Structure 1
Amino acid sequence: MTGYVFKTASTVMSFDFNSKKVLITGAGRGIGRALAIALNETGCKVYALSRTKSTLDSLVAEHPKVVPIVADLSNWDDTRRKLEDLEPLDGLVNNAAILGEKYPSVDFPRDSIDKLLNTNLLGAINCAQVVGKKMIDSKIKGSIVNISSVAGIGAFDTNLAYNVAKAGLDMVTKQFALELGPYQIRVNSVNPTLVMTPMITNIKEGVLYEKAFIARTPMGRIAKVEEMVGPILYLLSDFSSMVSGQMHPVDGGMLSNIAVKI
């Protein structure tokens, strides 16, 4: 990855993030942590945000150049104050998300909906506003990547709040791409299938989710965390310089499959 260069007649593009500065939310574990490590190893200055200090401490212990930010995205004002202190960035990855409880849609509690939307949707909007304004003011041709989900494209039973938050995040992608495009700032979504991150393995339904997704995935397996990192790096890089406002499902073909195995 580091130092790989693609040449054309008119330009040179690289998967080298040396001298770049990127903020990753939800960077303490899972996809966010793997991405923070990958970017750090390419020479990128990584700002790693998480609400859990212990996971950030362990990340920094392993990779001392990573800059930790402890913040709870559900707290709009506190998060905003911390982000406004940052230097202008080249990239933002809105990765932080929570699952929440499962309820039938007709019984889904208001407080549970609010909790999911505050973190998974409003938190991403808040970060995109602050970072996007700094990109505009500094004339940075930046990239914002929102980590959405296949659940934003197709409904999943008893997951109303999560599904709505991810579908909303995909529209946030389109809206920001529309309005930031004139400043040469790109905004895209990555929509992963089930990835066995700690967030999934720590819940009681984790094994059931795994079996259900494997049964519906043509490639017949669960995605690995590192298989999400590559598409995100692509969207942060110059290789995707004309890609904006798009959803990018990474699902092993799951969304192409309308059959249910009996």
Structure 2
Amino acid sequence: MEPDRSFSGRRALVTGAGKGIGRAAALALSGAGAQVIALSRTQADLQSLEGTGIETLCVDLGDWDATEAALSKVGAIDLLVNNAAVSVLQPFLEVTKEAFDRSFDVNLRAVFHVSQIIARQMIARGVQGVIVNISSQASQRALQDHAVYCSTKSALDMLTKVMALELGPHKIRVNSVNPTVVMTDMGRINWSEPQKAAAMISRIPLRKFAEVDDVVNSILFLLSDKSAMTTGVSLPVDGGFLVS
């Protein structure tokens, strides 16, 4: 079978690409022919991508000025995956200013800023760019101790819609992917307690958590020409959680 080269000739930027979904998406895009820039705030995580042909960029997206400086040098980008995020879980009555500010800085403001920078140069080049924001089922369902995280992801879904509305006339599509719990290395650790995992799985009609490939396949679909008429949607990858 011929290898998939459906993204040949395109340059992709993936944020939060040092581990988990972001790393897997960067590798999948590279394997499908794209020239990929993997961005992370942790240099040690990026080192695992050495030798893959993927270019790496170390910057903390919570730092507005550093982000502006770093992205001014990345060159032309056709595909953007806004994956970088933080999750600080606290009961509503105990949410700290630090947790609130850090969560919104990374989960929303950074997406806003990175997308502005990349979309402006997409428009200047006249390309039909694509942006995929990684959201969550938590954008649409209240979860215990997730007051800040749920709020950031709900805001991200609406940002996705407004971006799609305003960037559509420039032939730029914008969508989000909204996973349930994903079995990344971190996901396996966070959901290793059987009682906690069983309580969540019982609310998922397919009775299982998502694997990383489930999310990556949806990202690739939304980045590809196969979804050329799809923009402004939030695509659940949740095993039916949001319908239960």
Greater than 2 Å deviation, 4+ residue runs: 1-4, 198-203, 205-213
Unmatched tracts of structure 1, length 5 or more: 5-14, 258-262
Do structure 1's residue 179 and structure 2's residue 166 form an aligned pair? yes
- The 5 Å alignment of 1:73-112 reads 73-100=61-88, 102-112=89-99
1:2: how far off?
A: 6.5
| Pick aligned residue for 1:115 from 94, 102, 115 | 102
Q: Aligned pair 1:20/2:10, yes or no?
A: yes
Whole-angstrom distance in 2 between the partners of 1:87 and 1:20: 12
Mapped partners of 2:92, 2:233: distance in 1: 28
CA distance in 2: counterparts of 1:67 and 1:43, whole angstroms: 14
Say whether residues 1:239 and 2:239 are aligned partners.
no
TM-score (norm. length: structure 2) = 0.95
3-state SS, counterpart of residue 137 of structure 1: helix
CA RMSD of aligned residues (A): 1.6
Farther-moved stretch of structure 1 (206-215 vs 116-125): 206-215
Whole-angstrom CA distance in 1 between matches of 2:119 and 2:225: 18
Matched with 1:7 is none
Gapped regions of structure 2 (runs ≥ 5): none
Deviation at 1:171, TM superposition (A): 0.9
Q: Deviations along 1:53-94, whole A, 9 cap, x unmatched? A: 111111123x1x100000111111101110111112111000
Quote the sequence identity (%).
Answer: 42
2:39 equivalent in structure 1: 49
CA distance in 2, matches of 1:22, 1:117: 24
C-alpha contact (below 8 Å) 1:2/1:42 kept by paired residues: no
**Aligned partners of 1:84, 1:121: CA distance in 2, in Å?**
20
Give me the TM-score of the superposition, normalised by structure 1.
0.88
The number of equivalent residue pairs is 243
- Checking the alignment, whether the CA contact within 8 Å between 1:3 and 1:16 is kept in structure 2 is no
